[in-house]
Amino acid sequence: MVSLTPIAVKHLLSFYLFLLITSLPAFAFAQTALASKTYTYLIYHKLAPGLTIQDALSVEREWRAINQAAVDEGNLVGWHMMVKQMTSNPNPAEYDYVTCIVSREMAIRGASPGAMARLYGDSVQTRMTSLQARDRQTAPVVKIEIWENIETLFGPAFRPEKGQTVVVDFLKLRDAQTNWPASVTPLRQDAATQVVQNQLRGWAFSALVVPKGSEKTYDFATARPIINLKQLGTITDPKQLETQRQLTRTFDPVRQEVFRFEEFTTPVAVTKK
C-alpha cells in the first residue's frame, strides 16, 4: 500500500482538479439552500514560514475565480476560505486556514475549457502551472477530509460575509452503537428556531466520510455562522439547555474551532440577477 505525504496529496488533488478543468465539457457548510445530499472537501493549509494570510490571499482569490466559474456552470455548489481564529486543539499551529469545496457528488468538477479560456485566454496551462506552484510555496496542504452534509439550514438568501464568524464543533459518538440520526432531530429543531430568531445565520450537521479510522478523534461536525461571540456564552433558555444536554449525552465535542470567512464564491441565484 502506497503512503502519500500531505504535499503529495496536494499535488495529486491539484493535478486532478487541473485535469478536470481542462478536459470536462461545458462541494457541516454551503452557500445556498441544499435540496439534496452534498459533500464538502475540507482542505487544511499551513502557511510557509514567515508568510501571513495576506500572502495567501492572492493565490486563494485566483482559486476563487476558477471555482466561481465552476459554480456558474453548475459543476460545484460553492467554494469558501475560512481563517482560523481560535481552537481547542492542543496543537494550535497544525494549520492556519481551510478552503472548502462543496459538491453534489464525491468528486470535484471544475470549470469547463471554455470558462477557463475566458479567464486566462490562450495561456490556461501556463497560468494553472504557475498557480499550483505558488499555492504549494505559499500555504501547503497538510490535511484533506471529505464530509457528507447530512442536515443544512441555510436558506436560499444565505451568503457568507467577509469577517463573519463561523463556529465548528467536531464530535465523536460516546457510544458507537448509538442511533445517532435520532439524536440529530432535536439539534436541527433547536437550530431552526435560532435561525428564525436571528440568533444563528445557519446551521449544518456533517459526517466524516474519508479518511476514517479508530485513530480519528471525531466523526461528525456542526457548523454555525453566528452573529457574535456572545452566542457562545452560558445557555439560559430551557429548551436550548435541554438540547445541549442531549447533544453531550450522545456526542463528545472533542474540538471547537472558530473561523472567519475571508473569501467565497457567490451563488448562481445571486450572480445571475
Secondary structure of 12-69 as H, E, C letters: HHHHHHHHHHHHCCCCCCCCCCCCCCEEEEEEEECCCCCCCHHHHHHHHHHHHHHHHH
- pLDDT value, residue 23: 31
Q: What is the overall mean pLDDT for the chain?
A: 82
Residue 11 has pLDDT above 80, yes or no: no
**Entry pTM:** 0.82
Residue 262 has pLDDT above 70, yes or no: yes
Q: Cα-Cα-Cα-Cα dihedral of 261, 265, 270, 273, to 10°?
A: 140
Residue 2 has pLDDT above 50, yes or no: no
Q: 171 and 140, same structural domain?
A: no
Q: Predicted confidence band at 264 (pLDDT cuts at 50, 70, 90)?
A: very high
Mark which of 145, 176, 203 sits at the end of a domain. 145
Residue range of the domain that includes 37: 6-145
- Residue of 157, 29, 165 lying closest to 103 (CA atoms): 29
Structural domains counted in the chain:
2
Pick from 50-54, 162-166, 263-267: least confident: 162-166
Residue 11 in domain: yes
Pick from 98-102, 128-132, 199-203: least confident: 199-203
For residue range 185-235, what is the model confidence (pLDDT) as tens digits?
Answer: 888 888 888 888 877 888 999 999 999 988 889 999 999 998 777 767 666
Mark which of 145, 174, 198 sits at the end of a domain. 145
Residue 45 in domain: yes
For residue range 33-48, what is the model confidence (pLDDT) as tens digits?
Answer: 445 789 999 999 999 9
Q: 197 and 72, same structural domain?
A: no
Pick from 81-85, 174-178, 230-234: least confident: 230-234
Mark which of 145, 177, 206 sits at the end of a domain. 145
Tally of CB atoms within 10 A around 184: 19
Q: 166 and 72, same structural domain?
A: no
- pLDDT value, residue 233: 66
Q: 111 and 187, same structural domain?
A: no
Q: 173 and 199, same structural domain?
A: yes
